Amino acid sequence: MRAIREIGWRRTLKFALFTCAHAVYEAALFPPLRAAMLTLFGAHVGRGAVVQRVRFCNMDRTGFRGLCIGDSCFLGDECLIDLADEVTMEAQTTLAERVTILTHTNVGYRDHPLRAFIPSMTAPVVLRRGAFVGANVTVLPGVEIGECAVVAAGAVVRESVPPWTVVGGVPAHVLKRLRDTSAASA
Protein backbone atom coordinates (compact mmCIF):
# COMPACT_ATOMS: atom_id res chain seq x y z
CA MET A 1 0.00 0.00 0.00
CA ARG A 2 2.90 2.37 0.61
CA ALA A 3 3.83 2.24 -3.08
CA ILE A 4 0.27 3.21 -4.05
CA ARG A 5 0.35 6.16 -1.64
CA GLU A 6 3.73 7.21 -3.04
CA ILE A 7 2.82 7.08 -6.75
CA GLY A 8 -0.97 7.52 -6.64
CA TRP A 9 -3.89 5.53 -8.01
CA ARG A 10 -3.63 6.81 -11.57
CA ARG A 11 -0.04 5.65 -12.00
CA THR A 12 -0.87 2.39 -10.20
CA LEU A 13 -3.60 1.70 -12.78
CA LYS A 14 -1.22 2.58 -15.63
CA PHE A 15 1.32 0.18 -14.10
CA ALA A 16 -1.29 -2.60 -14.01
CA LEU A 17 -2.36 -1.99 -17.63
CA PHE A 18 1.20 -1.90 -18.94
CA THR A 19 2.06 -5.03 -16.95
CA CYS A 20 -0.78 -6.81 -18.77
CA ALA A 21 0.38 -5.38 -22.11
CA HIS A 22 3.91 -6.61 -21.38
CA ALA A 23 2.57 -10.10 -20.65
CA VAL A 24 0.83 -10.12 -24.05
CA TYR A 25 4.04 -8.87 -25.71
CA GLU A 26 6.07 -11.65 -24.03
CA ALA A 27 3.65 -14.27 -25.37
CA ALA A 28 4.67 -13.36 -28.93
CA LEU A 29 7.05 -16.15 -29.93
CA PHE A 30 8.79 -14.58 -32.92
CA PRO A 31 10.57 -11.25 -33.47
CA PRO A 32 8.11 -9.96 -36.12
CA LEU A 33 5.21 -10.58 -33.73
CA ARG A 34 7.04 -8.78 -30.90
CA ALA A 35 7.68 -5.80 -33.19
CA ALA A 36 4.00 -5.77 -34.17
CA MET A 37 2.94 -5.89 -30.51
CA LEU A 38 5.21 -2.97 -29.62
CA THR A 39 3.74 -0.97 -32.51
CA LEU A 40 0.22 -1.87 -31.38
CA PHE A 41 1.04 -0.62 -27.86
CA GLY A 42 2.32 2.72 -29.17
CA ALA A 43 6.05 2.28 -29.88
CA HIS A 44 7.56 3.29 -33.20
CA VAL A 45 9.24 0.24 -34.74
CA GLY A 46 10.94 0.70 -38.11
CA ARG A 47 10.96 -1.68 -41.05
CA GLY A 48 13.21 -4.68 -40.72
CA ALA A 49 13.76 -4.24 -36.98
CA VAL A 50 14.42 -7.49 -35.10
CA VAL A 51 13.21 -7.61 -31.50
CA GLN A 52 14.36 -10.69 -29.59
CA ARG A 53 13.20 -11.43 -26.01
CA VAL A 54 13.56 -7.90 -24.62
CA ARG A 55 12.15 -6.84 -21.24
CA PHE A 56 10.81 -3.41 -20.39
CA CYS A 57 10.40 -1.66 -17.05
CA ASN A 58 8.74 1.57 -15.89
CA MET A 59 6.26 1.44 -18.75
CA ASP A 60 3.82 3.42 -16.62
CA ARG A 61 5.98 6.54 -17.14
CA THR A 62 6.28 7.09 -20.92
CA GLY A 63 4.36 4.04 -22.03
CA PHE A 64 5.56 2.33 -25.16
CA ARG A 65 5.23 5.72 -26.90
CA GLY A 66 8.57 6.52 -25.27
CA LEU A 67 10.28 3.85 -27.41
CA CYS A 68 11.48 4.60 -30.94
CA ILE A 69 13.27 1.82 -32.84
CA GLY A 70 14.52 2.79 -36.30
CA ASP A 71 14.73 0.75 -39.49
CA SER A 72 16.97 -2.34 -39.50
CA CYS A 73 17.73 -2.27 -35.76
CA PHE A 74 18.54 -5.39 -33.74
CA LEU A 75 17.64 -5.85 -30.07
CA GLY A 76 19.22 -9.01 -28.65
CA ASP A 77 17.96 -11.54 -26.13
CA GLU A 78 17.48 -10.50 -22.51
CA CYS A 79 18.01 -6.77 -23.02
CA LEU A 80 16.34 -4.55 -20.41
CA ILE A 81 14.99 -1.17 -21.49
CA ASP A 82 13.81 1.34 -18.87
CA LEU A 83 10.95 3.48 -20.20
CA ALA A 84 10.89 6.02 -17.36
CA ASP A 85 12.05 8.43 -20.10
CA GLU A 86 12.38 8.15 -23.87
CA VAL A 87 14.69 5.67 -25.59
CA THR A 88 15.53 6.36 -29.24
CA MET A 89 17.41 3.94 -31.47
CA GLU A 90 18.10 5.40 -34.90
CA ALA A 91 18.40 3.18 -38.00
CA GLN A 92 20.82 0.25 -38.04
CA THR A 93 21.65 0.29 -34.34
CA THR A 94 22.40 -2.95 -32.51
CA LEU A 95 21.92 -3.97 -28.89
CA ALA A 96 23.72 -7.28 -28.30
CA GLU A 97 22.53 -9.72 -25.63
CA ARG A 98 21.79 -8.52 -22.08
CA VAL A 99 22.25 -4.79 -22.70
CA THR A 100 20.64 -2.63 -20.01
CA ILE A 101 19.45 0.86 -20.91
CA LEU A 102 18.48 2.96 -17.88
CA THR A 103 16.61 6.26 -18.12
CA HIS A 104 16.09 6.97 -14.45
CA THR A 105 17.69 6.87 -11.02
CA ASN A 106 15.62 6.40 -7.87
CA VAL A 107 17.07 5.05 -4.61
CA GLY A 108 13.66 4.44 -3.07
CA TYR A 109 10.75 6.05 -1.28
CA ARG A 110 10.72 9.80 -0.59
CA ASP A 111 11.99 9.30 2.98
CA HIS A 112 14.98 7.13 1.94
CA PRO A 113 18.13 8.51 3.64
CA LEU A 114 20.07 8.63 0.36
CA ARG A 115 17.49 10.86 -1.41
CA ALA A 116 19.31 13.94 -0.05
CA PHE A 117 22.46 12.82 -1.87
CA ILE A 118 21.02 11.01 -4.89
CA PRO A 119 17.83 12.74 -6.00
CA SER A 120 15.43 10.98 -8.34
CA MET A 121 15.95 11.90 -11.97
CA THR A 122 15.04 10.83 -15.48
CA ALA A 123 16.79 11.53 -18.77
CA PRO A 124 16.40 10.11 -22.29
CA VAL A 125 18.90 7.80 -23.98
CA VAL A 126 19.69 8.14 -27.70
CA LEU A 127 21.59 5.71 -29.92
CA ARG A 128 22.54 7.38 -33.19
CA ARG A 129 22.52 5.70 -36.60
CA GLY A 130 24.73 2.62 -36.87
CA ALA A 131 25.76 2.46 -33.20
CA PHE A 132 26.73 -0.96 -31.81
CA VAL A 133 26.37 -1.81 -28.11
CA GLY A 134 28.10 -5.05 -27.05
CA ALA A 135 26.81 -7.74 -24.70
CA ASN A 136 26.25 -6.96 -21.02
CA VAL A 137 26.70 -3.19 -21.42
CA THR A 138 24.90 -0.82 -19.05
CA VAL A 139 23.93 2.59 -20.45
CA LEU A 140 23.05 5.19 -17.80
CA PRO A 141 20.42 7.98 -18.05
CA GLY A 142 21.08 10.93 -20.34
CA VAL A 143 23.69 9.20 -22.51
CA GLU A 144 23.89 9.65 -26.28
CA ILE A 145 25.86 7.06 -28.21
CA GLY A 146 27.13 8.69 -31.39
CA GLU A 147 26.76 7.65 -35.00
CA CYS A 148 28.60 4.39 -35.75
CA ALA A 149 30.11 4.33 -32.25
CA VAL A 150 31.02 0.96 -30.70
CA VAL A 151 30.61 0.12 -27.01
CA ALA A 152 32.69 -2.92 -26.02
CA ALA A 153 31.07 -5.77 -24.09
CA GLY A 154 30.71 -5.29 -20.34
CA ALA A 155 31.16 -1.51 -20.35
CA VAL A 156 29.28 0.94 -18.13
CA VAL A 157 28.50 4.07 -20.15
CA ARG A 158 28.09 7.14 -17.89
CA GLU A 159 28.86 9.84 -20.46
CA SER A 160 27.93 10.37 -24.09
CA VAL A 161 30.07 8.61 -26.69
CA PRO A 162 31.39 10.57 -29.70
CA PRO A 163 30.57 9.36 -33.22
CA TRP A 164 32.88 6.82 -34.85
CA THR A 165 34.57 5.97 -31.54
CA VAL A 166 35.18 2.67 -29.72
CA VAL A 167 34.72 2.82 -25.94
CA GLY A 168 35.05 0.14 -23.27
CA GLY A 169 35.65 -0.42 -19.58
CA VAL A 170 34.08 0.56 -16.28
CA PRO A 171 33.50 3.42 -16.59
CA ALA A 172 33.65 3.46 -20.39
CA HIS A 173 36.55 5.42 -21.89
CA VAL A 174 37.80 5.95 -25.44
CA LEU A 175 39.81 3.01 -26.78
CA LYS A 176 40.05 3.99 -30.43
CA ARG A 177 38.77 6.50 -32.97
CA LEU A 178 37.41 4.87 -36.12
CA ARG A 179 37.21 8.11 -38.08
CA ASP A 180 38.41 11.66 -37.45
CA THR A 181 35.23 13.71 -37.07
CA SER A 182 36.87 16.93 -35.86
CA ALA A 183 37.02 18.45 -39.39
CA ALA A 184 33.31 17.78 -39.90
CA SER A 185 32.39 19.60 -36.69
CA ALA A 186 34.65 22.63 -37.29
> Any idea what the CATH number is for the domain that residue 86 is in?
2.160.10.10
**Of these residues, 22, 44, 104, 112, which one is catalytic?**
112
pLDDT > 90 fraction of the chain, expressed in percent and rounded: 72
Q: Number of folded domains in the chain?
A: 1
Asked whether the predicted pLDDT for residue 186 surpasses 70, the reply is no
- Per residue, what are the HEC states of the chain? CHHHHHHCHHHHHHHHHHHHHHHHHHHCCCHHHHHHHHHHCCCEECCCCEECCCEEECHHHHCHHHEEECCCCEECCCCEEECCCCEEECCCCEECCCCEECCEECCCCCCCHHHHCCCCEECCEEECCCCEECCCCEECCCCEECCCCEECCCCEECCCECCCEEEECCCCEEEEECCCCHHHHC
**Does residue 22 carry a catalytic annotation?**
no
pTM of the full structure: 0.88
pLDDT tens digit sequence for 149-172: 999 999 999 999 999 999 999 999
Q: Which residue has the higher pLDDT, 186 or 123?
A: 123
- Residue 28's domain comprises 2-185
Asked whether the predicted pLDDT for residue 185 surpasses 60, the reply is no
